[in-house]
Structure 1
Amino acid sequence: MKVIVTVFISLIALSSLSTAHAGSVESRFKELDRNRDGAISKSEAAQEPALWSRFSSYDQDKDGKLSLREFSNYARQ
């Protein structure tokens, strides 16, 4: 019984961490998206040098901006 409770509590904790990380990724995306157009341009990405230097590798559709999905790929690194 203790094992089941421990596993259950561990799963809840992991779920909370995942949700918190997702929220922080979205929050950071909104901070970088200064003009609030729903995308991060290369000039907006300059606020975060590591992102700016690898911008083109995360811009999967090569439209010159990062969507939340594309930024999430960066944030997971």
Structure 2
Amino acid sequence: MNKIAALVLSTLMLAFATTSVQASSIESRFKELDRNRDGAISKSEAAQEPALWSRFSSYDQDKDGKLSLREFTNYARQ
């Protein structure tokens, strides 16, 4: 394998590993905030993280009063 191909492959592997760690970290934080373990974060649960609480409604895309993992991920990646 030439040096350029090895460098490209190494870069891609590092990017994938970083994305996986970030996703795992986001899911872990979601589980910490979801104190009643119902699979969603309510506004009262979001109060544990003031920045999330203050912008809760802007991330609650379906306006159901809670954040799904997908909605929380949108917040966490900001």
CA distance in 1: counterparts of 2:19 and 2:55, whole angstroms: 25
How is 1:1-77 mapped onto 2 (pairs within 5 angstroms)? 1-77=2-78
CA distance in 1: counterparts of 2:61 and 2:6, whole angstroms: 43
Aligned AA for 2:46?
A: A
Runs of 4+ in 1 over 2 A off after TM superposition: none
How large is the Cα RMSD of the aligned pairs?
Answer: 0.4
Percent identity (aligned): 73
Shift of residue 33, structure 1, vs aligned partner: 0.1
TM-score, L = length of structure 1: 0.98
Aligned AA for 2:61?
A: Q
Structure 2: stretches of 5+ with no match in the other structure: none
Aligned AA for 2:14?
A: A
**Cα distance per residue 1:10-69 (max 9 Å; x no partner):** 100000000000000100000000000000000000000000000000000111000000
TM-score, L = length of structure 2: 0.97
CA distance in 2: counterparts of 1:4 and 1:34, whole angstroms: 46
